[in-house]
Structure 1
């Protein structure tokens, strides 16, 4: 089952959270205020009617006459008040008179002659104040919610901007810009958890850079130290008498020397110390000559020629490694095409492994099972590093049999329009589509 994920910004999450809390608080306070006001008004109405019935009782006992609105043995008297009078108690009672909820307040008291003196009145106008109070509470609640949303957008927006800057700086750091610092990128005077995160990322980046630099130096030192004995081994192999064993020793010694040179080249590229020596060349003619030497059976097609400013030695190295990878892991026919500043190398083999398409070339990783045991995974790594030095962009993808007629691996090199100002000014990316 595919789970659908709703991606929302931190600003709106904070805003919704504050708005929700504000709404809950506003509703709770409104209910409390409404109920408190209603109870207070009802108690006040009871007290007023109780005072009036006491005054009517005093007047009746002294004059045997009834005050206005006072009645004896009112047939509409609620049963609850009749029961209270039977017990000799003075009481008040609230009664709804119609479906609209209009309240009528009753008060009764037993007289000395056994009758019940009562008085009642409707308090519709007085209780209508509750309606006005409710409107005021609703308006206040809406204002609180809107204010909470505005405050959430302000706070969340500031936090979101800082996190976006931190993410951008982290991506630049991952792309190899070692001088980038997340704490400097987010800026600001606020000291919060974002600063703690930025300092932690900066510390981790520095530690990783130190570790990678140490590993690079160790690799370079080991490869450098191996050059002398490997060269001696190759020289000694040349002195062996002719024969099959001699050929095997020479072949393995030469392979070992090539591996040492490749490791040294990768170490130099990883150190970002390489600089391109730019020259203006005609790309189509340059590719034709180099392909005839590196892979004579490859077919070259110049769709549109162009003059480019590049380092011919490094471009030749990239082209040679791509052709060598195609010959080693792919199948003929091999095709090289030039279209303006774009150079493509294609074979008709099983294609690049998924790991390479997703993560890019990696040293000493040869890919899928059908490509295992061939090479050391340094050819494409060197090609990608040299492309970075040239300011070019190198991508890898597999051919679509339905659209392109056959399977195969396709490497595409985009040369820049202008010379790079610094090593790695254009990142190397891998496009899996």
Structure 2
């Protein structure tokens, strides 16, 4: 089954709309098929009744209105027609084998039918559309409608019917009379022994009453179809339009600030697309709220962190005006100002990088990355600093034994994660020390995990700070570390990027001394 078909059949709302729209149509189709069968039954019954009457009348005419030659006795035939006492809507006519009219019950009984002729006018547009739809329905649903092929009454002219009767067959047809009435006609040969001496034609003109009765019988089906349409429209309104309206009002309340989240339990508990939409909108608003709160907290943290060096610079400038004659004090104040300016520059640079990475994670699509080759390429960028004997070197160890681990990630942010961890480890390592980057493979249940481990030989992390170090602007560093070289955003950025890649990062202390940072990313 195609994806489009499976999406359609798997949609509860699509099935509801499809079934609701077909319900009323199904009622009309079933009603039309039932009434078509009823009409066919009425017409066939009328034909059979006329055939039975015609057999009786032709037997009577064969006995009383024929001569031994053999031939038809015209006067006797007319008298026999008068004695038949036919129903009001049945007309009997007798013809000679050559087609000449011998007798007509309408004229012989001196009965006159008075009926007002309808005015002649061009059919209206609605009538034309109705006729076109009727023809279309006949073409489309005709093959599936029940038929009485062996008993059906054919549509043919009187001449064709008469020719069949003259040859000795019983002919039946339906057609319109010269007065525009729909009639059922039966023609039967009048025989003397085996010779055809005439033709008796019986016509019933009450078929229009049958059709009118049929149309009247269709009224209940139309009523049921209209009722089904109203009920399904109400259900669609209650099941689709009303929940969508409530979602729209909830979104408007959030936009206007009257509410900060979508809280519609009755809709979010639904097990269809509207429930999924409500849950997605609720999750989206919660994520936006968290993002807004995080941005507000970030702005407050930035203001606080920028205020500290600015306050220090202002104090140093004010103090410098009072110690202008003390060169030693003035030099010390200039060093303080220089350190604070350096710290400000570091803060602004890291804040800019954090904002850029956040925007990049929302714009740049993820891709499959060979994590071993990627980490090796990042580590190689530190080869240039290994020439300095006091510099901290960086080495890479691939413990996956050549396994090609693939992860879905964004190259820019993921590279920033590895560089931030390496830079953080180098800043705590002693001169001439070594930072070791290792790639390993592990499992979390059925999920394969690509694990990146960064070790250093520094003083380690206080046990009570293993989680705090990932907070923004955390800069509690050992004594002797150069002031202003760190903004406290590096590890916070690492945690944020890893979380967007559905991974996790944590810190621990090595048994032999130093810190270890571990990044786990789900592998493909």
Q: TM-score per shorter chain, which class?
A: 0.3 to 0.5
After TM superposition, the score normalised by the length of structure 2 is 0.32
Rg larger in 1 or in 2?
2
After TM superposition, the score normalised by the length of structure 1 is 0.37
